[in-house]
């Protein structure tokens, strides 16, 4: 463990660089997926095409995509933008499906009621559809965050600093502790992002707490009744 303390500054710098690579794709993937997912929820043909494209994109190996992006964008291979673009593509591949499912889950009757009360399309989207789709969108972005934090380690294979440097350097020097530290930090970072997103979801969507409490209360009441029903 002495190695960890003596290299704490360098390790912390890698953590910050890793976060810098992950935050933009998570935010961009979420923001871009909202209008695309809403459109897909309104058109079955569009949904089918977008989800198929998303599935195909997600099957592309991370290293291959990172190498391909510079060719398409015409930027140097060692530019962090390549990693951000590649991770954003993967984020969209996941998040568009979640967004489409989220908006499709909004009851049609609620939308019609909002329209009948004089809501414009934008008002209905912002005050009715988006809030009701919020829990599913939150679940999607939590998956995206974990996936992005994991995939960002690929950047170290093309010279972009991240926590993946601890993997590659540790294996090259046959120093297992360094690789283990990188592995643990990726897990911890993913857990921290997940907790932050979950907490933000509870703060921004307080109306979901009542539903969870009601569901929990219903299960609590039903449990004592179950043996009686079986008898």
pLDDT in tens, 22-75: 999 999 999 999 999 999 988 888 888 988 888 888 888 888 888 888 888 887
Is 166:185 a contact under the CB 8 Å cutoff?
yes
pLDDT category, 224, cuts 50, 70, 90? very low
Taking only the tens place, the pLDDT of each residue in 70-106 is 888 887 777 888 899 999 999 999 999 999 999 998 8
pLDDT number for residue 210: 52
Angle CA(156)–CA(141)–CA(183) in degrees, nearest 5? 35
Q: Is the dihedral of CA 123, 210, 142, 50 positive or negative?
A: negative
Distance CA 147, CA 113 (A): 38
Q: Residues, the chain, total?
A: 231
The CATH label, of 1.10.10.10, 1.10.3720.10, 3.10.350.10, 1.20.950.20, for the domain at 2-230 is 1.10.3720.10
- 168-192 mean pLDDT: 90
d(CA 228, CA 226): 5
Name, in order, each residue with C-beta under 8 angstroms of 224's C-beta and a sequence gap of 6 or more.
none
Percent residues over pLDDT 70 in the chain: 89
Distance CA 120, CA 129 (A): 12
* Mean residue pLDDT across the chain: 84
Output the pLDDT for position 121: 79
Q: Give the model's pLDDT for residue 209.
A: 62
């Amino acid at each position: 463990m002495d190695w960890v303390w003596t290299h704490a500054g360098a390790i912390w710098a890698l953590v910050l660089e890793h976060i810098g690579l992950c935050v933009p794709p998570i935010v961009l993937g979420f923001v871009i997926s909202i209008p695309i997912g809403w459109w897909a929820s309104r058109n079955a043909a569009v949904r089918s095409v977008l989800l198929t494209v998303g599935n195909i994109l997600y099957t592309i190996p991370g290293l291959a995509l990172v190498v391909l992006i510079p060719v398409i964008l015409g930027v140097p291979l060692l530019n962090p933008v390549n990693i951000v673009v590649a991770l954003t593509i993967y984020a969209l591949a996941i998040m568009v499906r979640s967004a489409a499912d989220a908006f499709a889950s909004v009851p049609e009757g609620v939308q019609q009621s909002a329209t009948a009360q004089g809501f414009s399309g934008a008002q209905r989207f912002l005050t009715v559809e988006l809030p009701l789709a919020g829990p599913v969108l939150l679940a999607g972005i939590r998956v995206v965050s974990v996936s992005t934090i994991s995939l960002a380690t690929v950047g170290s294979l093309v010279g972009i600093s991240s926590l993946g440097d601890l993997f590659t350097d540790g294996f090259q020097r046959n120093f297992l502790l360094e690789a283990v530290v990188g592995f643990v930090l990726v897990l911890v970072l993913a857990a921290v992002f997940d907790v932050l997103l979950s907490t933000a979801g509870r703060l921004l969507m307080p109306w979901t707490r009542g539903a969870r409490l009601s569901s929990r209360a219903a299960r609590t009441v039903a449990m004592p009744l179950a043996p009686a029903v079986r008898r």
